[in-house]
């Protein structure tokens, strides 16, 4: 093909990628040829991640790092550069959500979500951009969520953070596009993960969980998405095939954002 989707020779740093969406994205990038580096906040999670990558046939490098700590991030990026090599691809995947009604949420809880979901991508991006400028290329992918565009009960902090991350994505594009750095976002829909498994379990009478029914009805694909379905879009945004794509949010949502929903019967 004349379009280059290969990541051979590239080093990809995927934050919070011991499991779940981050693991699926990193695994897809590894299959495209990238060398994978990831972090998590505890050694036990890093160890579990390394074991999972090894089982998948991937030789990943794991580091313990709190991405909200600027000093720790700078030290980790420096260590990665020395031990593995300079980072070509950054995926800001690490994130949390607190499902609490806004008027019941404390300011401290709100700040914690903002810190992990918005401040951390700023901190990690700032740590890798100078090297990308120096080498004349770089790819940054922010995991933005559909909550970059939509609101819903109990997710005020998460929606605020992801909306901010969408605009940080566009601003990194605006500031650093001239250095051949592309910064884009992926907005996942509702994904089949261990965390969402309870919401997809059948009820004792065999019916769907109410939230499961809600998501299936709101999604034109009429199903939850699989984590590995994010790998292709991530590889595209990390490869030379997307060099002209910058400041864009690619929503991988099965069509939810395009759909008003079914008419009540």
Per-residue pLDDT of the chain (265 residues; tens, 9 = 90+): 556 999 999 999 999 999 999 999 999 999 999 999 999 999 999 999 999 999 999 999 999 999 999 999 999 999 999 999 999 999 999 999 999 999 999 999 999 999 999 999 999 999 999 999 999 999 999 999 999 999 999 999 999 999 999 999 999 999 999 999 999 999 999 999 887 888 899 999 999 999 999 999 999 999 999 999 999 999 999 999 999 999 999 999 999 999 988 877 7
Residues listed for the chain: 265
pLDDT at 3: 64
Separation in Å, CA 180 to CA 10, 105, 117, 174, 246: 15, 41, 25, 11, 10
What per-residue confidence (pLDDT) applies to 2? 54
Q: For residue 40, how many C-alpha atoms fall within 13 Å in the half-sphere facing its CB?
A: 18
Which residues are 225's β-sheet partners? 191
Secondary structure class of 32 (helix, strand, coil): coil
Classify 199 as helix, strand or coil.
Answer: helix
Catalytic positions are 158
| pTM given for the model | 0.96
Closest CA to 220 of 261, 249, 189: 261
CA–CA separation, 3 and 106 (whole Å): 49
Q: Side by side, which strands form the sheet with 61-64?
A: 61-64, 35-40, 11-15, 89-92, 138-143, 181-188, 249-252
SS3 category, 16: coil
3-state DSSP assignment of residue 148: helix
Helix and strand numbers, DSSP H then E, in the chain: 9, 7
């Amino acid at each position: 093909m004349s379009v280059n989707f290969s990541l051979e020779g590239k080093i990809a740093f995927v934050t919070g990628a011991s499991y779940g969406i981050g693991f699926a994205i990193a695994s897809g990038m590894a299959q495209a040829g990238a060398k994978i580096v990831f972090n998590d906040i505890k050694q036990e999670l890093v160890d579990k991640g390394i074991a999972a990558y090894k089982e998948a046939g991937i030789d990943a490098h794991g580091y313990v790092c709190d991405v909200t700590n600027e000093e720790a991030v700078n030290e980790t990026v420096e260590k990665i550069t020395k031990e593995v090599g300079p980072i070509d691809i950054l995926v800001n995947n690490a994130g949390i959500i607190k499902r609490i009604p806004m008027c019941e949420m404390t300011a401290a809880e709100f700040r914690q979500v903002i810190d992990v979901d918005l401040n951390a991508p700023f901190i990690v991006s700032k740590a890798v951009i100078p090297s990308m400028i120096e080498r004349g290329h770089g790819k940054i992918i922010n995991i933005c969520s559909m909550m970059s565009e939509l609101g819903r009960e109990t997710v005020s902090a998460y929606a605020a953070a992801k909306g901010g991350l969408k605009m940080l994505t566009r601003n990194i594009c605006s500031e650093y596009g001239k250095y051949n750095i592309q910064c884009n976002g992926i907005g996942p829909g509702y994904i089949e993960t261990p965390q969402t498994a309870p919401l997809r379990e059948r009820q004792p009478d065999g019916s769907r969980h109410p939230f499961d029914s809600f998501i299936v009805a709101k999604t034109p694909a009429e199903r939850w998405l699989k984590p590995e379905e994010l790998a292709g879009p991530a590889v595209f945004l990390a490869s030379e095939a997307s060099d002209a794509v910058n400041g864009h949010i690619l929503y991988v949502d099965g069509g939810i954002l395009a759909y008003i929903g079914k008419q009540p019967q």
